[in-house]
């Protein structure tokens, strides 16, 4: 079994966070596919899989370039390996068992209470003290199966990836938005399992890109094509 990590970044000059992420992945004995200046995350992920040609038991990680993983590498690898079954599509760190009408997985509304899964640490100017003075935890919920996962960290085995279509849907206008909801929702509707697990990931982002026009365009396109809401059906 081999581990691969696919990371898209916009700048040739890598940030300190990205450099630290690469060092971490090397410590995990993962082969890193660093894609610089891609015009589309859909295209980048599709081409990465074609390049890797993963074996059935290989694990491919797709993650943002602004995350920091603080789980010890050997613990991280074992946790990841043990999280897959023959029916698993994607494994991530945050998601929900109930995708509401607005297709925004992290919304805390009456329908989503107790439905979210996973945990992510965030950087803020002010917040609860945990790892250092500006890191706080967003506790979404316990580990478990979900309908969709957030794209800051996704992992899948080669057996699934080699049969999955990463091509951007024609109804999406934006090249970087809603790919995670589309991928994981599609896998769920195909009868696969998505699962949120607990590992220590710090997301060095405030999520400001959610406000851009292309995000809203893809959100509305997804809502028009998906049958929402979607509720997890445990087998």
Q: pLDDT tens across 102-159, in order?
A: 999 998 776 667 899 999 998 875 544 444 557 889 999 999 999 999 999 999 999 9
Angle, CA 141 vertex, CA 137 and CA 144 arms, to 5°: 130
The span from the CA of 41 to the CA of 177, in Å, is 8
pTM: 0.92
Q: Which residue has the tokens 């990841």?
A: 80
Cross-strand partners of 5: 32, 61
Fold of 3-231: Spore Coat Polysaccharide Biosynthesis Protein SpsA; Chain A (3.90.550)
Burial of 162 (0-12, 13-18, 19+ CB in 10 A): middle
CB 35 within 8 A of CB 44: yes
Give me the pLDDT at residue 126, please: 53
Q: Which position has the higher pLDDT, 107 or 62?
A: 62
Q: How large is the average pLDDT for residues 18-46?
A: 97
What is the rounded CA–CA span in Å between residue 40 and residue 37? 9
- Mean pLDDT (the chain) is 91
| pLDDT beyond 80 at 215 | yes
Lowest mean pLDDT across 164-173, 177-186, 187-196, 202-211: 202-211
- Give 65's DSSP letter: T
Distance CA 188, CA 215 (A): 22
Residue 96 pLDDT greater than 80, yes or no: yes
Whether residue 5 is predicted with pLDDT greater than 60 in this model: the reply is yes
């Amino acid at each position: 079994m081999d581990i691969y990590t696919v990371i898209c970044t916009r700048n040739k000059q890598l940030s300190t966070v990205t450099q630290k992420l690469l060092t971490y992945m090397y410590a995990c004995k993962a082969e890193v596919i660093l894609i610089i200046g891609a015009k589309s995350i859909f295209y980048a992920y599709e081409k990465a899989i074609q390049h890797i040609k993963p074996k059935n038991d290989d694990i491919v990680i797709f993650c943002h370039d602004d995350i920091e993983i603080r789980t010890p590498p050997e613990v991280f690898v074992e946790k990841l390996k043990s999280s897959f079954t023959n029916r698993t599509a994607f494994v991530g760190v945050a998601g929900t068992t109930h995708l509401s009408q607005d297709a925004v997985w992290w919304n805390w509304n009456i329908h989503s209470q107790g439905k979210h899964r996973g945990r992510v640490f965030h950087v803020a100017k002010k917040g609860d003290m945990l790892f250092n003075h500006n890191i706080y935890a967003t506790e979404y919920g316990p580990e478990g199966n979900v309908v969709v996962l957030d794209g800051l960290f996704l992992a899948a085995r080669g057996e699934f990836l080699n049969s999955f279509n990463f091509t951007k849907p024609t109804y999406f206008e934006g090249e970087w938005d809603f790919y995670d909801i589309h991928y994981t929702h599609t896998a769920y509707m195909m009868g696969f399992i998505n699962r949120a697990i607990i590992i220590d990931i710090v997301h060095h982002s405030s999520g400001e890109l959610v406000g851009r026009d292309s995000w809203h365009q893809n959100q509305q396109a997804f809502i028009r094509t998906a049958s929402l809401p979607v509720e997890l059906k445990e087998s």
